Every structure is written in C-alpha cells, then in structure tokens.
Amino acid sequence: MHKKHSIPRETTSVIFLILLFVGVGLINASFLTVDNIILSLNSSVIYTVVAIGIAFVIITGEIDVSVGATLGMTAAVCGSMVRDGNVGMGIFWALLLGLFIGLINGFGIAILRIPSIIMTLGTNGIVRGLIYVYTDGKWIENIPLKFKALSQVRLFGSFTWFYFLTLLAVVLMHLFMTKSQVGRYFKAVGDNPNGANLLGIPVSGTKIIAFMLSGLFAAIGGIMYVSRVGFITPIAGIGYEMKVIAACVLGGISLTGGVGSLMGATIGAAIMASISRVLVFLGFPSDYDNTITGILLIVIVVFDAVFQANLAEKMRRQRLAAKIVHTQSVALEEAPDHE
Amino acid sequence: MNKHELFKEKVLKWESSLVLLLLVEVLVFGLINPKFLIPRVLFGSINNFMTICIVSIFVTFVLITGGIDIQAGSIVGLTSIFIGVLWNDVGVNLYIACIFGLLLGVLCGALSGFFVAYTGVQPMVVTLGGSFLYSGLALIITNFSSTEAYKGISGFPQEFTQFVKGKIFGVIPNQLVIFIILVIFTYFLLHRTIYGREVFLCGVNKNAAEYSGVKTKMVIMSTYALSGLGAALAGILLTAYLGTAKTDLGKEITLPVITAVVLGGTSNLGGTGGVIGTALAALVIGILRFGLSMAGVNTQYLDIPVGVLLVISVAIRFAGSNPNIQKNLQKFKRRFSRKRKQIV
C-alpha cells in the first residue's frame, strides 16, 4: 500500500542530477555536451563501485566507515604486486583481502554485537596503520604503463570499460538484491531485524555477507585506483568513506536501513563526482568543492525528509478518512437490521 | 540514596577500570622508557592531545541523546582560521575575535542541531554534510586572508600563546587545568542539573520525554550547539598552542573523539554515559599514543593499537551485558551436544 502511493526516492536524485546538468549547462553550454557527461560519469567510477558495496551495508541498517582504508590497503597490495609483474596475483590478493576485512567487520558486528560505527571506526584505524606497515610509509610508484592504460580503454569511443563493468555490476547486483531470495533478505533485515529473525531469515549471516560485499567492492575500487591514479600513497582512499556514504544518501538510501536501491547509489555517486566538475565549469576555485557538497547534501536530505514526512502525513489522513467513511457506511447498512 | 548506589554500580565500575588501565599504561611505559615518568614529560604530553580531550567531553552530550557528531573536527579548523583572519586581516582585537569564534562554533553546531531535531534527518547524515560544509567554509575564509592558505596565519601576540603554553609550578600545563575545569563544569551540567537529566531522557526515550513536558527538540539542538562550542574552544586553544591559525587543524580528530566517547562508556544508542568516563578514556588514548611513540613505535602505526583497544574494549563490554551473546553460546553448546549424540 505504501509502495503504491509514494514516489520512489531515486526520482528526487535523478531530477536533481538532471537539474544540475541543465542548470550549469545554461551558464556554460559546454557542460551539457555528450563528451562532458561521459567524462563526468567515467570519473565517478571508483565512487560508484565502492558505493554499491557500502549500499548493501547501509540497506541492512548498519554503516561501514572502513571502506576508505580498505580501498587504500588493497590498492597498496595490488599496486606493489603489479609493479613486480604479478598482475593476476595482485588482483587476487586484493580481492581476498577486501573480503577478509569485510568478514572481520561482519564478525564483530553480527556475532560480537559491536555497534557497526564503532567496529568499522576501529578497523579503519587498524587497516590505515597496516598500510604504513606494509608500504613502510613510502609511495608505490612505477606501475607498468600497460596496467595504467587499462583504465583509459574506451568501448565504442565513449565510456571506459571500467564504467561498463561497473554498470554491469550494478545491474547484476540490483537484480540479485531485488529478484533473488537471499538478496531480498538485506532489505528485510534493514527494515526490521527482529521481524526478519522471526521469519527465519539468518540476520547475522545476512549482515556478514553485506560487510563482505562492501569489502569486496572496496577492493575492486582499490584495483581501479591503482590503474586510474597510477601511484599509491599511504593516505590513498582517505575520505572516500564519507564521500561514498554521502553518495548513497544523495541517492535516496536511508541510513536507518531498509530503504533505497543500488540504482540510487549509482546516481548519488554520479552527483558526487559531477560537483567538482561543475565548479570548474562555473569558474569557481576548487576551494568551494566541500562547501557545495555539504550544502547540497543537507539541502537534498532535508528536502527529502520534509517531503516524505508530508507525504506520510497526507496518506495517514487519507487512510483515516477512508476508515471513517467506511465505518459510517457500514453503520448505515447495518442500521435497518437492528430495527 | 538508592539512586546514588545505582550510579555507583553502573557508571563508576567502568570508570574505575579506565583508571586502572591508565595506571597500567603509565607503569608499563615507565618500565619501557624511564624518561616517560618524568612529570614534565608526562604532563607535557597532554598538550598534544588536548583537542581530542576537550572536543570529546562535549560530543558526549550528543551521543547521550542518541545522535552522533562527526563535524566537530571541521569546526575546530573553521574557528581557528576564523579568528586568525579576523585578527590578522580585519583588525579585530584578538580576544573579541575569540568570542566571535566561540559564537561561530555555537552557531555551526546549532545549525546542524536544528536540522537533526526539527526535520528528523539522521544525525550522521546532517553532521556529515556539516563536516563538508564547515571545512569548505574554512577554505573559503582563507581567501580573504593575505597569507597563503598552506602557511597558516601566525605572529600572534606573546601573551595569547604563552598563557596556553604556560605551566603552574612549572609542571602542570595550563591546558590541563582548563581541561579539568571543563570536565567539572560539564559534569555538573550533565549529572547535576535538570538540563542534564533531560539530555539523558531524550536518549532513553524521546517520546516519553516529549510527553513529560521536555522540549526534546530544543534539548537535542542544544547538545549540538554545545559540541560546537567545545570544538570552537578547542580550536582557539590549539591555535594559541601552535601559534598558527590553519584550516586543517582538527582534520583527523573525528575518529579519536568518537573512540574516546565510546571507550568512556557512552553508548552510541543513547541514554547512558558520562563525562568523567569520556575524559578518562581520552587520557587513556592520548597516553597510549604518547607512550608507544616514546617506546620507539613509529607514530604512523599508532592507529593500530588505538583501533584494537577500541574494538576489544567495546566487545568485552557488549559481551558481558548483551544477552544475545549468551543466547548464541547456548545455541552453540546445544548444537555441539546434539552432534555428539548423533556420533554416539
């Protein structure tokens, strides 16, 4: 009933993304060209990948602030191995490491019942420290040109194949989340963990899988980081967790869990990546980047919250009114019988 | 009397274990490096993590209402550069600039608090937005300064910087005295006033608080304003201590602050906690970092032990009180015994 009446939360984000491009395009026409739109989307690839992982966690009602460190760590591991010529091993170990960090997070949160923000803050610190241990505080450079060129390969002359791959992952994961039985557990757990438990859904297992997916996608983001950026500093990926959470929120995923979709996360990531480009096209210095991001985040979220609250209130009134009319009509029908 | 006993049982227990942890730390690090025990060194180290201590005792209020504040760090930087620019480029008296800085901190906190309390958006999202916004504003403010942003504004008058660097009897730093005064002040505010009880009630059950006549929205908003005030205060002290006003001063304190608050016994779900615990936990973390670096551990590795400490201490606390763990254990035992029967 609720679903039928309310407008999907992603629409607000899509409208906003379109407004952003059209609005800036009115001021500077070169922003609204196909080339620029493609470039903007291409540059959002790492945000998007990490955002789909973390979306699983947020939809189950938890939070993961360790993705930035995970991305940095996997990038360092992958980068150092690729530099030494072991591309396959680098990718393999990076993915395994991402899964492992996710497993530890999931274990602490689902089994030991540590609040997720605390647990992932802890692992964030630990993993960030381990990056320094692993790299000895040095930069990882001299990534082979061939590996770096991978990120520049474009399919059909437009999107990079990284972006296509990411979109494919979004579609597959979206189908997994909405169509498969296990996939639907995530929303159920996020919406009402106790209810899910009573229905026989393995709540702890679902949460662990969500965190492992978050780690895995952060690792994929790390591998892409190696290829796109080409060098890894010990502070690689710092601040990504906040940007990605912001992307999810912009895409209509509620931090209380149970609401939102991966499509939303993708759109949110595109918005996040576009903002810094918008500033360039409007002629602002990049100093304004954070200010605009902050204002947008607050405005969109507050607008959305007020809008949804109004909608819910209106629906509640409609339901009440319908109930009153219904009971009155029932009373009228029943009245003659009593006589 | 009964209330007093309950307080002793629930709060002081955890706090006494923190005191124990603090003593163990001092002892162990003293054994590793005897220089650590020299009072001048030990107390002097406190200056290095005073920002975290001060911010965390104010952020405790927010967590007790069931919220979270990850914007305090950016308010520290914003205040710092704000007073720097006011003094250096606008020409306002430094102490008046500090008062404006405090007002700005309160305003920033109250703005986020307003959105949290009155629109029902999750605190994490609002303060995330706030952290972007205020760190961005700090960068914009530097544009009004004639000094390059990365250099920071320096050249503050002697008495401003000397007061913060000063020591009572040549041993106890003034910053520690300020911190203790703040702890006493916040302790009375939180545990001994009606306002403090309202803060707790908002965290325990917001609806019940609302129905019993507490203006929950005002109370929740005020906790964010308080946390902004604390961050601004920390920003001013840090500026004076370092002698430079910079935008990125409080950039990396979010993690340690939340760690300190939670390690201090405040639940992030709201309703329980206290200022004393937070203050002790902040000292535990600070001494741990300082002691390890004195023991020769690379300063860049220090996040590892802090993270481990956080996870383990919270795991122990939750394992003891959470029935779910015991349920799991029982389930495990039952499953185990069933398997054994099958084998037999």
Task: Please indicate, yes or no, whether residues B124 and B272 belong to a single structural domain of this protein.
Answer: yes
Report whether pLDDT(B248) > 50.
yes
Judged by a CB distance cut-off of 8 A, whether residue A260 touches chain B is: no
Least confident of A262-271, B63-72, B149-158: B149-158
Count of C-beta atoms within a 10 Å radius of residue B22? 16
Highest mean pLDDT among A17-26, A214-223, B244-253: A214-223
Task: Please indicate, yes or no, whether residues B41 and B124 belong to a single structural domain of this protein.
Answer: yes
Q: How far apart are CA A190 and CA B306, in angstroms?
A: 30
Nearest-Cα residue of chain B relative to residue A108: B315
Residue in this structure with the two tokens 């760090």, named with its chain if needed: B73
Query: How much is the average pLDDT of A318-330?
Result: 81
What's the mean pLDDT when you consider all of chain B?
Answer: 84
Q: Phi/psi zone of residue A103: left (φ > 0), alpha (ψ -120 to 50 degrees), beta? A: alpha
Judged by a CB distance cut-off of 8 A, whether residue A239 touches chain B is: no
**Interfacial A residues in 8-67 facing B (CB < 8 Å):** 63
Give the CA angle between residues A115, A190, B272 to the nearest 5°.
35
Confidence of residue A302 (pLDDT cuts 50, 70, 90): confident
pLDDT at A2: 45
Query: How much is the average pLDDT of A170-193?
Result: 91
Helices (H) and strands (E) in chain A, counts: 15, 0
pLDDT at A4: 45
Query: How much is the average pLDDT of A268-284?
Result: 82
The residue segments making up the domain with residue B90 are 2-301
- Tell me the chain A residues in contact with residue B268 when contact means C-beta distances shorter than 8 Å: 115, 117-118
Q: What percent of chain B has pLDDT over 70?
A: 90
Q: How far apart are CA B315 and CA B225, in angstroms?
A: 31
pLDDT at B11: 53
Confidence of residue B320 (pLDDT cuts 50, 70, 90): low
| Pairwise CB contact (< 8 Å): A292 & B136 | yes
Nearest to B135 among A108, A126, A290 (CB): A290
Nearest to A126 among B126, B132, B303 (CB): B303
Task: Please indicate, yes or no, whether residues B105 and B215 belong to a single structural domain of this protein.
Answer: yes
Mutation target among A276, A290, A304 for the B interface, most CBs of B within 10 A: A290
CB pairs under 8 A between A and B: 150
Task: Please indicate, yes or no, whether residues B297 and B333 belong to a single structural domain of this protein.
Answer: no
Q: Go through chain A and tell me how many residues it has.
A: 339
Query: How much is the average pLDDT of A114-118?
Result: 84
| Pairwise CB contact (< 8 Å): B304 & A130 | yes
Q: What percent of chain B has pLDDT over 90?
A: 28
Task: Please indicate, yes or no, whether residues B229 and B322 belong to a single structural domain of this protein.
Answer: no
pLDDT at B12: 58
Judged by a CB distance cut-off of 8 A, whether residue B329 touches chain A is: no
Q: How far apart are CA B334 and CA B344, in angstroms?
A: 15
Report whether pLDDT(B322) > 80.
no
Judged by a CB distance cut-off of 8 A, whether residue B130 touches chain A is: yes
Report whether pLDDT(A240) > 60.
yes
Task: Please indicate, yes or no, whether residues B242 and B321 belong to a single structural domain of this protein.
Answer: no
Domains and CATH numbers, chain A: 2-338 (1.10.3470)
Task: Please indicate, yes or no, whether residues B203 and B333 belong to a single structural domain of this protein.
Answer: no
Task: Please indicate, yes or no, whether residues B295 and B336 belong to a single structural domain of this protein.
Answer: no
Supply the DSSP symbol for A108. I
Task: Please indicate, yes or no, whether residues B334 and B278 belong to a single structural domain of this protein.
Answer: no
Query: How much is the average pLDDT of A56-78?
Result: 93
**Between the CA atoms of B245, B247, B250 and B254, what dihedral angle is there, to the nearest 10 degrees?**
170
Judged by a CB distance cut-off of 8 A, whether residue A292 touches chain B is: yes
Report whether pLDDT(B227) > 80.
yes
Task: Please indicate, yes or no, whether residues B119 and B46 belong to a single structural domain of this protein.
Answer: yes
Q: Give the pLDDT confidence of A34-56 residue by residue, as tens digits.
A: 888 888 888 889 999 999 999 99
ipTM: 0.77
When divided into structural domains, chain B yields a total of 2
**Between the CA atoms of B211, B212, B216 and B217, what dihedral angle is there, to the nearest 10 degrees?**
50
Nearest-Cα residue of chain B relative to residue A115: B268
Closest CA to B152 of B248, B268, B40, B270: B248
Closest CA to B234 of B58, B76, B35, B87: B76
Q: E strands of chain B, at which residues? A: 153-154, 167-168, 172-173, 244-245
- Tell me the chain A residues in contact with residue B289 when contact means C-beta distances shorter than 8 Å: none
DSSP string, B153-204: EE---HHHHHHHH-EETTTEEHHHHHHHHHHHHHHHHHHSSHHHHHHHHHHH
Query: How much is the average pLDDT of B232-236?
Result: 93
Chain B nearest CA to A145, separation (Å): 30
Judged by a CB distance cut-off of 8 A, whether residue B306 touches chain A is: yes
Task: Please indicate, yes or no, whether residues B270 and B144 belong to a single structural domain of this protein.
Answer: yes
Entry pTM: 0.82
CATH code for the domain in which residue B30 is found: 1.10.3470
Report whether pLDDT(A1) > 50.
no
Query: How much is the average pLDDT of B165-177?
Result: 79
Task: Please indicate, yes or no, whether residues B273 and B318 belong to a single structural domain of this protein.
Answer: no
What's the mean pLDDT when you consider all of chain A?
Answer: 85
Mutation target among B314, B317, B327, B331 for the A interface, most CBs of A within 10 A: B314
Report whether pLDDT(B316) > 80.
no
Judged by a CB distance cut-off of 8 A, whether residue B132 touches chain A is: yes
Query: How much is the average pLDDT of B65-82?
Result: 91
